[in-house]
Amino acid sequence: MAKKEVRQSKLSISILVLVFIAVLIFLALRKETAPQPAQVSVYNALQKASEHYDKGLYPDALLQYKKALELNNKTYEAYLGIGHSYLQLNLYNEALKAFQKTFGLDYHDFRTYYGLGLAYYFKEDYNSAYLNFVRAYELNPNNKAVASYLLNAYNAVGLYDEAINLANIKLATDQTNSQYYRKKAIADLLKNDLQKAAENAKKAVEIRSDYPGNHLTLGIVYMGLGEKENALEQFKKSLVQPQHTGFEGSAITYQLLNDDLNYQKNAKSASKYPRHSNSLSLLGFALLNLKEYGKAINEFNSAIENTPSYYLPYKGLGKAYMELGNKENAVANFEKAAQLNYLDEESKKLLEEARRLG
């Protein structure tokens, strides 16, 4: 009987030891998996930063993102947030630095390349933007924002067929997205196919008549077709959101109509807003189609003054000078366009043709 009790006692002690060990293991695991104070603080900083960002309080968002980095300098979301906050503040070089720092981390995804693409795009370094948007799209082809900016980049570097093909791919599954039609219209305009450009621009306006960019694109296309009254109507609708190109387009159209008073009025309004080299170049190409070479040259020169490193207005100038029989200036501008954009095969072909004719 005593031996039995001893055995039972030993068994009870063994069970207690095992239970104690299990409790120790559980507590250790719980300690490892439980959020540590630093982790909680990083999370809280990111949450506050996101709230500030959503309210448009970008300097406050920056402070919180930087606080998260002070707690953990490998926080991917913090670098992304800093980059996007700088983008909103138009500090593009600072944004680039923030996005580039994500490459030193163990983790980064398509958002790194998308952020870099945006920073380069807003700096009007379209070749670098194109390379990063391509990579972002490869990593996440279903992201609409990435596809949209890749379309912009295709058009900006002269890959118009690629822009049209990508827009068609997206329209196969989403025919209610006006931006795909609008960006196809821009590609068509730059390919000098204004009838197709008009079809796609009209479709964009049908889908979203509340978006000023759709009216602006259709106005430029109408101007290129010589439909001045229709162009004016669309430019006016685009000015629900006042911007340089809408006023500039209106001014040019009034000038074509010999309405000097309204020309002066809209030109003065245009001068109050930032110019965009891409839009100025589009206006220039529309004027080329009308054989208004002097006015086209003015727009291309304005675009170059705004962004000397952008190839498209140089190509436009080359075309205008070719039409005017000024081969020397044509060659000089085609050379500059080809130098600035190695992706644009048309500039290289035009340069060869101008040299041959010269």
pTM, rounded to two decimals: 0.85
**252 and 315 fall within a common domain:** no
Give CA torsion, residues 325, 331, 332, 335, to 10 deg.
150
Asked, for residue 347, whether it belongs to a domain, the answer is yes
Q: What is the SS3 assignment for 161-175?
A: HHHHHHHHHHHCCCC
Asked, for residue 319, whether it belongs to a domain, the answer is yes
Per-residue pLDDT at 37: 55
Per-residue pLDDT at 219: 97
Flag whether pLDDT at 262 surpasses 50.
yes
**267 and 313 fall within a common domain:** no
Flag whether pLDDT at 88 surpasses 80.
yes
Asked, for residue 256, whether it belongs to a domain, the answer is yes
Asked, for residue 233, whether it belongs to a domain, the answer is yes
Flag whether pLDDT at 141 surpasses 90.
yes
Residue, of 37 and 147, whose pLDDT is higher: 147
Per-residue pLDDT at 8: 45
Flag whether pLDDT at 29 surpasses 80.
no
**308 and 239 fall within a common domain:** no
Arithmetic mean of pLDDT over the chain:
90
**183 and 265 fall within a common domain:** yes
Per-residue pLDDT at 13: 45
Q: Number of structural domains, the chain?
A: 2
Question: pLDDT (tens digit, 9 = 90+) per residue, 168-195?
Answer: 999 999 999 999 999 999 999 999 999 9
User: Average pLDDT for residues 238-265, to the nearest whole number?
Assistant: 95
Flag whether pLDDT at 338 surpasses 90.
yes
- Distance CA(341)–CA(241), nearest Å, equals 32
Asked, for residue 46, whether it belongs to a domain, the answer is no
Per-residue pLDDT at 104: 83
Asked, for residue 240, whether it belongs to a domain, the answer is yes
- Distance CA(92)–CA(305), nearest Å, equals 20
The CATH number that applies at residue 170 is 1.25.40.10
Look at residue 186 and give its three-state secondary structure.
helix
**242 and 315 fall within a common domain:** no
Question: The domain containing residue 352 runs over which residues?
Answer: 293-358
Asked, for residue 130, whether it belongs to a domain, the answer is no
Beta carbons within 8 Å of 300's beta carbon, 6+ residues apart: 280, 281, 284, 313, 314, 316, 317, 320
- Distance CA(148)–CA(61), nearest Å, equals 26
